[in-house]
Amino acid sequence: SQQGEEDPQALSIQEGENATMNCSYKTSINNLQWYRQNSGRGLVHLILIRSNEREKHSGRLRVTLDTSKKSSSLLITASRAADTASYFCATDARANNLFFGTGTRLTVIP
Amino acid sequence: NAGVTQTPKFQVLKTGQSMTLQCAQDMNHEYMSWYRQDPGMGLRLIHYSVGAGITDQGEVPNGYNVSRSTTEDFPLRLLSAAPSQTSVYFCASRVTSGSSGANVLTFGAGSRLTVL
């Protein structure tokens, strides 16, 4: 069973716009992570937010975490064509393994 | 520094055949894992290992076998391939086997398997 679910499943925006994707999860967590996957490639870690943090920034990325709602959001500001990829949230619910959501496919149109 | 290396990148099997997907990492990571990725399903954990000689099952272990004889290598064996095992397989590793603060995974490039 999936620990996380991303919303929306797909998102298409113009270059320069902001992209927001959301993640909901089911159980208590120690931390939540976001990964990016370019087409035909492996996943690459973007950012980690701990359960006692509410917001974190890294470059053009902003992640929020609401443990009371069991949800997180990833905001990519001033998007670029190179941001086109699938984005996954992952939580460490059981035995310190990571469990991934179904992903959001982001397309940034130049 | 190669990171996580998976071979082969592509493989076609017939139902009932067996094969091994290879995974090697050169980062001295204790923890290694195998995921499969299917459309609309995200990534699902097959097996994982917290160190040499120690393996455990993930969410979808049936039909797969693993071993961890060295820190560097974590092969995934398909004993009798079935069409339901058609998928993209990813190997991933991280530094520690425990500690919630350090479970960021490094992924390989993936192995695409088709079972006819």
- Residue B48 in contact with partner chain A when CB distance is under 8 A: yes
Q: Which residues pair with B5 in a beta bridge?
A: B24
How many angstroms away from the CA of B22 is the closest CA of chain A?
15
Report the residue of chain A nearest B10, measured CA to CA. Answer: A40
What residues in A contact B48, CB-CB < 8 Å? 97
Question: What proportion of chain B, given as a percentage, has pLDDT over 90?
Answer: 86
List Cβ neighbours of A68 (8 Å cut-off, separation of 6 or more). Answer: none
**pLDDT tens digits, residue range A86-108?**
999 999 866 678 999 999 999 99
Q: What is the pLDDT of residue B80?
A: 96
- Residue B39 in contact with partner chain A when CB distance is under 8 A: no
What is the rounded distance in angstroms from the CA atom of residue B73 to the CA atom of residue B76? 10
Q: Does the pLDDT value for residue B8 go beyond 80?
A: yes
Q: Name residue, tokens 């490639």.
A: A41
Note whether A102 contacts B41, CB cutoff 8 Å. Answer: yes
Q: Does the pLDDT value for residue B4 go beyond 80?
A: yes
Residue A1: pLDDT band (50, 70, 90) is: very low
What is the rounded distance in angstroms from the CA atom of residue A6 to the CA atom of residue A100? 9
**pLDDT tens digits, residue range A37-69?**
999 899 999 999 999 999 999 999 999 999 999
- Angle at alpha carbon of residue B8, lines to B3 and B12, rounded to 5°: 150
**pLDDT tens digits, residue range A6-41?**
889 999 999 999 999 999 998 888 889 999 999 989
- Residue B19 in contact with partner chain A when CB distance is under 8 A: no
Q: Does the pLDDT value for residue B96 go beyond 80?
A: no
Residue of B38, B43, B47, B66 to mutate, interface with A, max A Cβ within 10 Å? B43
Three-class HEC string of A93-107: CCCCCCEECCCEEEE
Q: Does the pLDDT value for residue A78 go beyond 90?
A: yes
Q: Does the pLDDT value for residue B69 go beyond 50?
A: yes
What residues in A contact B44, CB-CB < 8 Å? 100
- Angle at alpha carbon of residue A8, lines to B45 and B33, rounded to 5°: 15
Structure tokens at B19: 């094969």
What is the rounded distance in angstroms from the CA atom of residue B23 to the CA atom of residue A33? 23
Residue B103: pLDDT band (50, 70, 90) is: confident
Residue B25: pLDDT band (50, 70, 90) is: very high
Residue B83: strand, helix, or coil: helix
Please provide the DSSP assignment of A17-44 as one string.
Answer: S-EEEEEEESS--SEEEEEEE-TTS-EE
- Pairing of β B10-13 and β B111-115: parallel
What residues in B contact A33, CB-CB < 8 Å? 104
Q: Name residue, tokens 């919630």.
A: B100
Report the residue of chain B nearest A50, measured CA to CA. Answer: B101
The strands making up B4-7's β-sheet, listed across from edge to edge, are B4-7, B19-25, B76-78, B64-66
